[in-house]
Amino acid sequence: MQQTAILDKIQHNMQPGNITRSGFLGTDTRHLGDILIDDDARVKRLGVSHQAIADRMQALREKGTQGLGNEITIPPHYKIRVDSVRGKLPCPFGDVGLFPKTNTTITNTDTGETITFTDLSTHMIGVHGFYEGHGGCFRLDPEKLVSTLDVQPETE
Amino acid sequence: MFAAFIFPFLIAVGTMCAISGILAILMVIADATIGNYGTVKIAINEDKTLEVEGGRSLLITLKDEEVFIPSACGGRGSCGLCKLKVMEGGGDILPTELSWLNPTERKQNVRLSCQLKVKNDMRIRVPEELFNVKQFRTRVISLRDLTHDIKEVRLKLLEPDSIHFKAGQYVQVEVPEYELTDEPVYRTYSMSSEPFATDEVELEIRYVPEGICTTFVHKHLKEGDELTINGPYGEFLRSDTTRPMICIAGGSGMAPIKSILMDMNRNHINRKTRYFFGARSKRDLFLLDDMRQLEKELPDFRFIPALSEPEPEDQWNGETGLITEVVDRHIKDASDMEAYLCGSPLMIDACIETLKKNNMPEENIFYDKFA
Q: Write out chain B residues lying below 8 Å of A100, CB-based.
A: 345, 371
A83 contacts B208? CB cut-off 8 A: yes
In angstroms, rounded to a whole number, what is the distance separating the alpha carbons of residues B165 and B152?
A: 19
What is the predicted pLDDT for the residue at B10?
63
- Cβ-based interface (< 8 Å): residues of B facing A: 72-74, 76, 78-81, 99-100, 180-181, 185, 188, 208-212, 250-251, 278-280, 284, 308-309, 322-324, 343-347, 350, 370-371
Hey, is the C-beta of A116 within 8 angstroms of any chain B C-beta?
A: yes
- Residue B227, SS3? strand
Question: Residue B122 — pLDDT band, cuts 50, 70, 90?
Answer: very high
pLDDT value at position B27? 57
DSSP string, B86-97: EEES--SPPHHH
pLDDT at B41: 95
Q: How many Å is the maximal CA-CA distance in chain B?
A: 105
**Class of CATH domain B133-233:** mainly beta
- Cis ω before B232 (30° cut-off from 0): yes
Alpha-carbon gap, residue B145 to B151, rounded angstroms:
5
Please name the member of A71, A88, A105 whose beta carbon is closest to the beta carbon of B280. Answer: A71
Helix%, strand%, coil% for chain A, nearest 5:
35, 20, 40
ipTM: 0.81
Residue with the bigger pLDDT between B132 and B6: it is B132
- How much is the average pLDDT of B263-278? 97
| Residue B96 pLDDT class (50, 70, 90 cuts) | confident
Residue of B nearest to A67 (CA): B322
A112 versus B70: the higher-pLDDT residue is A112
- Determine, for residues A72 and B251 on separate chains, whether the beta-carbon distance falls below 8 Å: no
Q: Give the pLDDT of residue A3.
A: 76
Q: Is A147 on the interface with B (CB under 8 A)?
A: no
The mean per-residue pLDDT over the stretch B245-265 comes to: 97
Residue B21, pLDDT score: 63
Please state which architecture CATH assigns to domain B245-369: 3-Layer(aba) Sandwich (3.40)
Q: For residue B5, what pLDDT is reported? A: 59
Beta-strand relationship, B39-44 and A114-118: unpaired
pLDDT at B97: 86
Asked if the Cβ–Cβ distance from A21 to B211 is below 8 Å, we say no
Partner B, chain A 19-48, Cβ-Cβ below 8 Å = 19-22
Domain map (residue ranges) of chain A: 5-148
Please judge whether B78 and A83 are an interchain contact, meaning their C-beta atoms are less than 8 angstroms apart.
no
Tell me the average pLDDT across B155-160.
97
Q: Of the given ranges (A41-55, B167-181, B192-206), which has the lowest mean pLDDT?
A: B167-181
pLDDT band at B50 (very low <50, low <70, confident <90, very high): very high
Cα distances (Å, whole numbers) of residue B169 to B129, B137, B256: 12, 18, 7
**Minimum distance, in Å, between the CA of residue A140 and any CA atom of chain B:** 14
**pLDDT at B29 (0 to 100):** 58
Percentage, residues of chain B above pLDDT 90: 72
Of A141, A79, A137, give the one whose Cα is nearest residue A112: A79
Q: What digits encode the pLDDT tens for the residues B323-362?
A: 999 999 999 899 999 999 999 989 999 999 999 999 999 9
Q: Average pLDDT, stretch B100-115?
A: 92
> pTM (2 decimals)?
0.84
CATH number for domain B39-130, candidates 3.10.20.30, 3.40.30.10, 3.40.720.10, 3.30.420.40:
3.10.20.30
State whether B344 and A103 contact (CB < 8 Å). no
Give residue-wise pLDDT tens across range B9-46: 667 666 665 666 666 666 555 555 556 788 999 999 98
Q: B19 with B7: CB under 8 angstroms?
A: no
Confidence category of residue B182, pLDDT binned at 50, 70, 90: confident
Question: Could you list the mean pLDDT of each consecutive 10-residue stretch along chain A, which spans 156 residues?
Answer: 84 87 90 96 97 98 94 96 84 89 94 95 97 92 97 80
Residues of B in contact with A101 (CB under 8 A): 78, 371
Contact at 8 Å (CB) between B57 and B123? Answer: no
Of A76-90, B4-18, B128-142, B153-167, the one with minimum mean pLDDT is B4-18
| Alpha-helical regions (H) of B34-150 | 58-64, 95-98, 103-107
Sequence-distant (≥ 6) Cβ neighbours of residue A55 within 8 angstroms: A126
Nearest Cβ partner for A85 among B81, B346, B370 = B370
Residue with more model confidence, B152 or B132 = B152
Q: Give yes or no for a contact between B191 and B171, defined as CB atoms under 8 angstroms apart.
A: yes
